[in-house]
Amino acid sequence: MESMAFIFTGIGSIIALVFSFLKFKSVHNAPEGTPEMARISKWVSDGANAYLKRQYAGVAIFLAVVFAAMICMAFAGMLSWFTPFAFLTGAFFSGLAGFVGMRTATMANCRTANAASKSLNSGLRVAFDAGTVMGFTVVGLGLLDLTIWYFILNAAFAALPVAERLTEITANMLTFGMGASSMALFARVGGGIFTKAADVGADLVGKVEAGIPEDDPRNPAVIADNVGDNVGDVAGMGADLYESYVGSIISTAALAVAAGYSVQGVALPMFIAALGVVASLVGTFFIKTEEGASQRNLLKALRTGTYISAVLIAVIAFVAIKVLLPEHMGIYVAVFAGLVAGVIIGAMTEYYTSDTYKPTQKLAESSETGSATIVISGLSLGMLSTVGPVIVVGIAVLVAFFCSKGATGGFAQGLYGVGVAAVGMLSTLGITLATDAYGPIADNAGGIAEMTGMDPQVRERTDALDSLGNTTAATGKGFAIGSAALTALALMVSYINKVGQINPDFKFNLAIDNPIVLVGLFIGGMLPFLFASLTMSAVGEAAQSIVVEVRRQFKEIPGLLEGKGEPDYATCVDMCTRSAQKLMVAPALVAVAVPVIVGLIMGPDGVVAMLAGNTVTGFVLAVMMSNAGGAWDNAKKYIEAGNFGGKGSENHKAAVVGDTVGDPFKDTSGPAINILIKLCSTVSIVFAGLVVAMHLL
């Protein structure tokens, strides 16, 4: 039965990939529009390609170093020989997921603009199809890799008894997760620096100093800005969610062993994920729109699809658990709790960030007294918005734990339930990611419409799609952050189990009044702040160089501002690439080096505490930064829609300041913290052997 479940997982992945390919074809077949549109689109896609090529080359160095270190550890008998390769494949596929998404997005931007010239709905169709490619590529690749690795490792360790075999399998798969997280971190941080440096740089000189509109072709940073959308918001997000998805599945599978659920327990998360593919696929067919639908109706259409998928998975998961672990139906409650928690956090995020609700409207109003007050109010809003998600995650953890534990089960069974809740939350990723990924595509389409001087109506339509995308992106971020917290907890427990496997004599003292634990909590709690600081100042530094370059071009290229000269787009793209490349190193090092250093000094107790502190503060800070950023963005849009003085007013200027502060919040630091907390966990797990063998305290 259980190998049936793995085979079904494989089938699920193939369904996802085939569906994704079909959608890719349909986007590809849409007309590109005028030659000028195609030309600009090509600039953007060339820039994005060039950036990704460089980024991957840079990451390759990092991967090679870690790979070498792992090989050494394998020689020392601290790791299995599969581990280094699992690590590499994880990184490869995470990067691939981002790459496919980016290619599709750069292909779709001019096609979306062209379709939007027909109608709002045609535009939505193309953009959403492109988003679907990304969503289903991520889940398809994720499931495919997990299935293949499972069968390889199962065969390799066939000689071992079941329990030990599963331990080996899941241990290697966790390394796969570390590879995926590493790539995701670089993609999110590098891409995030690129996109926001270009965005902020273009805005500061173009909009604020020179007074030309956004996406104006005279602005030398405008292509870089559009490239940024693709490498940060698309490729970065793809790599990120690939990591979240496989991370939640792997960490749960690893807990199954400790819980004594054997192969069925390992199979369950994959099986639920595979069923989620089907549920998501069905959901996409419900996203239908009528001609002339209002924005509210469009949103409703998107939501219908997502909710139908959620309901479907809630039903099929019951069957799945009935089949695999019929005596532990409490686990079903965990899946359900995860699903519901994800939906509620998404709704809360929307409440705090959408301009159809009070908080963002009040934020827009605070622009009346200038930029300082809108900044203060935005920070305050972001901080307040953390309360709900914390409580929801808390309830989900407790419900998942106590129900999975049941009357008869123990601690380990309860913790397995927490992992399953994360899988439940991400099971509909295919469709939630699709609704999330189409936003930047619409944004880019708007850029192309602006640059090629299309009918202003087209820009209005793409703006409507983009603004709708902000809302769905908020929902998507809710899922990503919530699942990250649950996954990080599962990984933390996996670490504890792993140490127990390495050295059964090691005695943990994880009590919170143990000074080592307290200090670990402090260090972990500080990490997200350090990480956010590094990423934000990276954006600032990179943006600074773009500002200088754009000012130079405005001054030195004759007739540029009058529309007679030709700006040098490539230099800006190149500068962003180089800045991102250089500045992503420090944050990445923090995520990789700190867990090892803490481990070597404070031992496994300190590591667990550090992971806990990191997860807690990271979750709260990430929610705060994402929501504050989203709210500032939409407050600005709300003013631009004619409220509180409208475009060009003093209020609008204040709101632009808020939005600019929010840019690195929501698109660089906030989402990257998600990955940070998981990467720290997987790094700790991989280097557990080293830490157990030698630590100071």
- Contact segment (CB under 8 A) with a second copy among 118-126, 244-252, 612-620, 685-693 equals 612-620
Long-range contacts of 386-389 (CB under 8 A, 24+ apart): 386/620, 386/623, 386/624, 386/627, 388/344, 388/345, 388/348, 389/345, 389/348, 389/349, 389/478, 389/481, 389/482, 389/619, 389/623
Q: How far is the CB of 561 from a second copy (least distance, A)?
A: 19
Tell which positions 48-107 bind a second copy, by CB under 8 A. none
> Residue 353, interface with a second copy (CB under 8 A)?
no
Tell which positions 404-423 bind a second copy, by CB under 8 A. 411, 414-415, 418
- The answer to whether the beta carbons of residues 413 and 481 sit under 8 Å apart is no
- The sign one gets for the Cα dihedral 48, 49, 53, 59 is positive
Which position among 156, 311, 508, 649 is part of the footprint of a second copy (CB under 8 A)? 508
Tokens found for residue 297: 């109706």
Q: How far is the CB of 393 from a second copy (least distance, A)?
A: 6
Residue 447 CA neighbour count, 13 Å, CB half: 30
Tell which positions 30-49 bind a second copy, by CB under 8 A. none
Which position among 18, 391, 597, 694 is part of the footprint of a second copy (CB under 8 A)? 391
- Contact segment (CB under 8 A) with a second copy among 76-84, 137-145, 240-248, 616-624 equals 616-624
Q: How far is the CB of 356 from a second copy (least distance, A)?
A: 21
- The answer to whether the beta carbons of residues 414 and 337 sit under 8 Å apart is no
- The answer to whether the beta carbons of residues 191 and 231 sit under 8 Å apart is yes
> Residue 397, interface with a second copy (CB under 8 A)?
yes
Q: Quick one: DSSP state of residue 407?
A: T
Q: Between 662 and 689, name the residue whose CB sits nearer to a second copy.
A: 662
Residue 420 CA neighbour count, 13 Å, CB half: 41
Q: How far apart are the first and last CA of the chain?
A: 47
Q: Between 78 and 418, name the residue whose CB sits nearer to a second copy.
A: 418
Distance between CA atoms of 395 and 495, rounded to whole angstroms?
23
C-alpha Rg value of the chain to the nearest Å: 24
- The answer to whether the beta carbons of residues 517 and 609 sit under 8 Å apart is yes
- The answer to whether the beta carbons of residues 655 and 373 sit under 8 Å apart is no
Which position among 394, 453, 559, 563 is part of the footprint of a second copy (CB under 8 A)? 394
3-state secondary structure of 23: helix
Q: Between 72 and 398, name the residue whose CB sits nearer to a second copy.
A: 398
Binding mask 630-669 for a second copy (x = CB under 8 A): --------------------------xx--xx--x-----
Q: How far is the CB of 505 from a second copy (least distance, A)?
A: 18
Distance between CA atoms of 555 and 285, rounded to whole angstroms?
52
Which position among 59, 609, 675, 688 is part of the footprint of a second copy (CB under 8 A)? 609
Burial degree of 204 (CB within 10 A; 0-12, 13-18, 19+): buried
Applying CB under 8 A, what is the total number of residues that bind a second copy? 80
Q: For 119-161, where are the alpha helices, taking DSSP H only?
A: 120-156
CB-CB neighbours of 295 under 10 Å? 14
Tell which positions 357-376 bind a second copy, by CB under 8 A. 366, 369-373, 375-376
Tell which positions 115-154 bind a second copy, by CB under 8 A. none
Distance between CA atoms of 273 and 180, rounded to whole angstroms?
18
Q: How many residues does the chain have?
A: 697
- Contact segment (CB under 8 A) with a second copy among 8-16, 234-242, 443-451, 513-521 equals 513-521
> Residue 589, interface with a second copy (CB under 8 A)?
no
Tell which positions 311-350 bind a second copy, by CB under 8 A. none
Tell which positions 191-230 bind a second copy, by CB under 8 A. 200, 204, 208
- Contact segment (CB under 8 A) with a second copy among 96-104, 113-121, 499-507, 619-627 equals 619-627
Three-class DSSP labels, 107-130: HHHHHHHHHHHHCHHHHHHHHHHH
- Contact segment (CB under 8 A) with a second copy among 87-95, 313-321, 385-393, 421-429 equals 385-393
Tell which positions 457-486 bind a second copy, by CB under 8 A. 485
Q: Quick one: DSSP state of residue 377?
A: H
Tell which positions 516-555 bind a second copy, by CB under 8 A. 516-519, 521-526, 529-530, 532-534, 536-537, 539-540, 543-544, 547
Distance between CA atoms of 658 and 675, rounded to whole angstroms?
25
Nearest alpha-carbon partner for 188 in 235, 229, 156: 235
- The answer to whether the beta carbons of residues 528 and 611 sit under 8 Å apart is no
Which position among 1, 155, 407, 512 is part of the footprint of a second copy (CB under 8 A)? 512
- Contact segment (CB under 8 A) with a second copy among 53-61, 105-113, 133-141, 515-523 equals 515-523
Q: How far is the CB of 421 from a second copy (least distance, A)?
A: 11
Q: How far is the CB of 662 from a second copy (least distance, A)?
A: 9
Q: How far is the CB of 366 from a second copy (least distance, A)?
A: 7
Tell which positions 226-285 bind a second copy, by CB under 8 A. none
Q: How far is the CB of 650 from a second copy (least distance, A)?
A: 10
Q: Between 343 and 489, name the residue whose CB sits nearer to a second copy.
A: 489
Q: How far is the CB of 651 from a second copy (least distance, A)?
A: 14
Which position among 390, 502, 570, 586 is part of the footprint of a second copy (CB under 8 A)? 390
